[in-house]
Amino acid sequence: MGIIKSSFSFIVGTVCGIYLAQNYNVPNVMKLANSALFMARHVEEKYRKPKKREDDD
C-alpha cells in the first residue's frame, strides 16, 4: 500500500497527461522551448556591444 499511496499523484498526472495529449491539440513543448531559445540568442547577438580590439591603439 505504501508505494501506491506515495506514487498516486504521479500515476494520476501521467494518465491525465496521456489523455490530454491524445484528445486535444497540445503544443509541442520542446519545439516551443527551442524556438524561444533561438529568439533569445538572436536578440542577444543583435544588441550585444561590439568587442573592443586591442590593436586599435
Residue ranges per structural domain of the chain: 2-49
52 vs 18, residue with greater confidence = 18
> Does the predicted model carry a pTM greater than 0.75?
no
Contacts of 26 (CB under 8 A, 6+ apart): 20
Per DSSP, the three-state class of 47 is: helix
| C-alpha cell, 55 | 590593436
Q: What is the pLDDT of residue 52?
A: 80
- Residue 57 reports pLDDT greater than 70: no
> 26-55 pLDDT, tens per residue?
888 899 999 999 999 999 988 887 778 776
d(CA 55, CA 24) in angstroms, rounded, equals 59
Residue with cell 527551442: 34
Q: What is the length of the chain?
A: 57
Distance of CA 42 to the CA centre of its chain: 17
